[in-house]
Chain A
């Protein structure tokens, strides 16, 4: 029994079901991020938690109270919208206290609460201004202030950073995380940005096509994706997926793929794969697991070194990304910035097979 319980919640518009039996239990103080491509149902789910959309079947409960049919204002939630949704005709101060006013809080208490929140978010000098006179980052703070002042059980964020420029987005991300650590509030946060999801959350729900594909900590999601969708959606650059055939090497299983010169490469995997001998599988390798031999993880048990042609290099300053051909496909690796790699020439590469994952090529599900 969680703090926020979503049990078998579905949502249909007419005969079209857009959310299919979602089950998520959020503990108190957790930072849950719903992430997925557009149209995956993440915003719909958030609106259902907020009470802005009806729940077709199933149940949503906050603090053990069933919330189906309860008006948004009676759920003790607060929401930060993508467009901030600040009331244009009111000052910042009025925007922040509007919710308290509607709930009948006396003026003195409202002003006190407003002062505290403004202090916390460092927007005290802005209280008398109209939203139209604020910059994007300031509006963002005011929108958060409006949510904080209510002291709600659950905070809902609907892509709050997507309207900001890249630098400000990173700053506000840190700020939201700080705020969460300081206040210990329960947050449900919707985004399509997988980096935001990884950096902010204590747990992530990856959604696609109205299903929760995987629910877990950022590390679980990243290292142990449940299927091909989660593997390729999370991480940037995304995971390399290549087709290979399982070959047994005594007791150890290995996946055979084609190298750049067509020479087969055998990659041992940490999966008990006797049953798959001779079958085709999808091998998933993250870019950082394909690197130069000196950059490879010294603690890894299965490191495979190979010589392969480097097609393209992309120095990013801190690292150098490179493209090479494995299993007939462009494969992205990441090496130390100091490692030498010349496009068109053969270089030594190391693959950390501890981190490799296998998927069923037809269903896309993980093979463990």
Chain B
């Protein structure tokens, strides 16, 4: 959006400028406040939090809560920390995102450049899958995972997320490729390039922005998913979100708020990182897709 607003920016007076900055600053602070509290409390000893002042900066700085949350905290009954679950999430999210993006790109390519009878109907059905609420599929999905003998495993979760993600990735790539000149595909056909060669050599190199959009969207959604993780992979294969819940809800001993805060930040960091690294392309890709499509 920043790109568009810069283009149509109007000349404003000094007073208006000041007002705008103050207004924006207040809201930025308002939204950053929870994160500030999490961050501050994750580097405090527990005694300072229970002592009452959550908003103050720590008197004693410590990384102890972070180390605890990572490797020794009680998750359910095991004192493993979040570490194994973090890797569970990585093992779930990376294959799911890669598979979804690859299939979505291929679907988009076929639906726009290799039109066939009933292609719009198929696209409509795939689009429909984006709007099916998660809760509806829980029981049928559990049954299917059971039949495939991958229930309770990371592989099972990857399958679930791929099935749900393909609808979105197809939508993204189809709209992006709809604006891609068909004459290029025809030229490549005459040049003798085959189905996959056209895809790899002609379309893929131009798909950077939409791939970034798709990856960010899928990564965030799959990483943050709790329902599927809790339903299909509780126990040793649980993803980060479920483990965080178990950490916060464990009923043994004292509630270590500083450890909880550290764990929560850890669970949020990968998505935050993806945004910071690729966020610029996200906006660019969204614009490209929406304007041309």
User: Interface centre among A50, A51, A71, A89, by most B CB within 10 Å?
Assistant: A89
User: Known: A83-B183, A85-B184, A87-B184. Is A78-B192 also a contact (CB below 8 A)?
Assistant: no
Taking CB as reference atom, which chain B residue is nearest A77? B190
Q: Is B77 an interface residue (CB 8 A)?
A: no
Pair B191/A98 contact, Cβ less than 8 Å: yes
Task: Assess whether B192 is in contact with A103, with CB atoms less than 8 Å apart.
Answer: yes
CB within 8 A of A99: which of B183, B184, B192, B206? B192
Interface residues of A, CB < 8 Å — how many?
A: 22
Is A79 an interface residue, CB under 8 A from the partner?
yes
Q: Are A99 and B181 in contact (CB under 8 A)?
A: no
Seen from chain A, the residues whose Cβ lies within 8 Å of a Cβ on chain B are 50-52, 71-73, 77-79, 81-83, 85, 87-89, 98-99, 102-103, 146, 150
Measured between beta carbons, the chain A residues less than 8 angstroms from B206 are 88-89
Cross-chain contact B189 with A99 (CB below 8 angstroms): no
Task: Flag whether B202 is at the interface (Cβ < 8 A).
Answer: yes
B193 & A82 in contact (Cβ 8 Å cutoff): no
Interface of A is mostly: loop
A102 with B191: CB separation less than 8 A: yes
Q: Provide the residues of chain B in CB contact with A89, threshold 8 Å.
A: 202, 205-206
Contact across chains for A83 and B191 when beta carbons are under 8 A apart: no
B130 → chain A, closest Cβ, in Å?
Answer: 30
| Contact across chains for A102 and B183 when beta carbons are under 8 A apart | no
Which residues of B are found within 8 Å of A71, using beta-carbon distances? Answer: 189
List, in ascending order, chain B residues with CB within 8 A of A146's CB: 187, 191
Closest-CB distance, A44 to chain B (whole angstroms): 13
Q: Could you count the A-B residue pairs with CB atoms below 8 Å apart for me: how many are there?
A: 56
B190 and A82: CB pair below 8 A? no
Contact B186 A102 (CB under 8 A): no
Distance A99 CA – B184 CA, assembled complex (angstroms) = 13
Q: Are A81 and B192 in contact (CB under 8 A)?
A: no
Residues of B within 8 A of A87 (CB): 184, 187-188, 201-202
A-B contact pairs, 13 of them (CB 8 A): A50-B186, A50-B190, A52-B186, A73-B193, A81-B186, A81-B187, A82-B183, A85-B183, A87-B184, A87-B202, A88-B184, A89-B202, A102-B197
A85 touches B181 (CB 8 A): yes
Contact (Cβ within 8 A) A85 B187: yes
Residues of A within 8 A of B193 (CB): 73, 98, 102
For B180, give the chain A residue with the smallest CB separation: A88
Cβ B187 vs Cβ A79 within 8 A: yes
CA distance A87 to B193 in the complex (A): 13
Residues facing A in B191-213 (CB within 8 A) are: 191-193, 197, 201-202, 205-206
